[in-house]
Amino acid sequence: MKPVKVGLLGLGTVGTGVVRIVEGHQEDLASQVGSPIVIEKVLVQNKSKARNVSMDQDKLTEDPWDIIRHPDIDVIVEVMGGIGLTKEYILEALSLGKHVVTANKDLMALHGPEILAKAQENRCDVMYEASVAGGIPIIRTLVEGFSSDRINKIMGIVNGTTNFILTKMSQEGASYLDVLKEAQELGYAEADPTSDVEGLDAARKMTILATIGFRANVALEDVSVQGISSVSKEDILYAKRLGYEVKLLGIAERQDDLISISVQPTMVKQTHPIASVNGVFNAVYVYGEAVGETMFYGAGAGELPTATSIVSDLVAVVKNLKLGVNGMQGSLAYKEKKLKTDEQISSKYFLLLKVADRAGVLARITQVFADFEVSLESVLQQPTPSNPEVEIIVITHDANKAAMKKVLASFESLDVVHEVKSVYRVEG
């Protein structure tokens, strides 16, 4: 049996995991695809560096073109990260008829349509399961498992760092800055955590999921993004008291072919299954018209979970290769993108207001909601000892985003409202 030869771009944490799985599971892989899968060449930054996995020195190269233009390599596996040069390498590989497996969420979120178009033009496969939610097979599920259904909502915890931080704040009553420091010490958060904590990483993943789920080319700029850096211990305490957990959720919704995508701290009812997803774990909730509610849960990162998704994609490419059907999946994004306006985006909201402690204040606040036709589900007043302020907690019924913006703008000019401390979407 002629082996299928693979070129590996990158030998960091995930690349090492790919080598371990491919070399350690040869019998299982060969039984699935009908031939051995061999890692022919590996791109590294420094050939002489000590490694956590045993590699034949002759297979290592510091020149990416040794792999991309190698005549015997059938599949390129990209785990090096980055955007500019990586995009160039992948487009060149596709133009040479090589199939691509990548874990690069940034690249696929920003340049996915161009890369997939080049793949189709050259009858090549591009697989990117590992770009979202690590070891959870969510992309393949959306593409294949929901191929006969119509997805109306995708809601997910797709960033483990922020979920770890919010879980610790909820369970231990710790502050955001203290838990962020701990996350950095444990290696869950980068020295510069901006991409994670400001929601950018989750936004890129939701761009990919929404594109697949709604069959339309969603761009990163279509995602409304808010991170967790302003979430306080007080917010989480009030949420728990009211029966909610605070989670950074990516939410993509469709109604009558109009779509909206956001990433934001959200108060999730404790009875909803996604509220119990803790630590660095990820979960993606999908609602289909036919199947109803489903949820997918697992490790969102790490050497072996992510490598498992990559090798699963590799197996899919090789199976297609054996059947002669590479590049025949068709366009995943064949529908026109129609985004909802703020008037069409609707949800419940939680507000925490600091207001003057005097008669008539509550009436003036509720009148503002009434002026913009936002109805209220509940209103709680919390006195603050030895302070001339009180805290008012409001949970609305479903209200459109435009109306809520007008409510918040009115509060800025209302003398009795000293501060709009927190505003969160409410789910479940």
Selecting among 205, 247, 340, 401, the annotated active-site residue is 205
DSSP state of 67: H
Six token digits for residue 411: 């509060």
Measure the CA–CA gap between 75 and 95, rounded to whole angstroms: 13
Count of beta carbons in the 10 Å neighbourhood of residue 363:
8
Going by C-beta distance under 8 Å and a sequence separation of 6 or more, which residues neighbour residue 325?
A: none
Six token digits for residue 262: 């956001």
Yes or no: say if 234 and 395 are a contact pair by the CB < 8 Å rule.
no
Q: Among candidates 412, 314, 271, which has minimal Cα distance to 22?
A: 314
Alpha helices (H) along 372-412: 401-412
Yes or no: say if 80 and 88 are a contact pair by the CB < 8 Å rule.
no
Side chain identity, residue 354: K
Q: Among candidates 327, 66, 329, which has minimal Cα distance to 215?
A: 329
| Residue 205 annotated among the catalytic residues of the structure | yes
DSSP state of 145: I
Q: Among candidates 421, 401, 405, 410, which has minimal Cα distance to 366?
A: 410
Measure the CA–CA gap between 413 and 221, rounded to whole angstroms: 31
Six token digits for residue 176: 């955001």
Measure the CA–CA gap between 351 and 392, rounded to whole angstroms: 8
Side chain identity, residue 173: G
Q: 305 vs 14, 159, 182, 184, 416, CA distance in Å? A: 9, 14, 23, 21, 52
What's the longest Cα–Cα distance across the chain? 85
Pairing of strands 346-356, 244-255: unpaired
DSSP state of 57: G
CA 99 to chain centre: 25
Going by C-beta distance under 8 Å and a sequence separation of 6 or more, which residues neighbour residue 116?
A: 126, 331, 332, 333
Burial profile 281-302: b = 16 or more Cβ within 10 angstroms, e = fewer = bbbbbbbbeeeeeeebbbbbbb
By annotation, the residues acting in catalysis are: 205
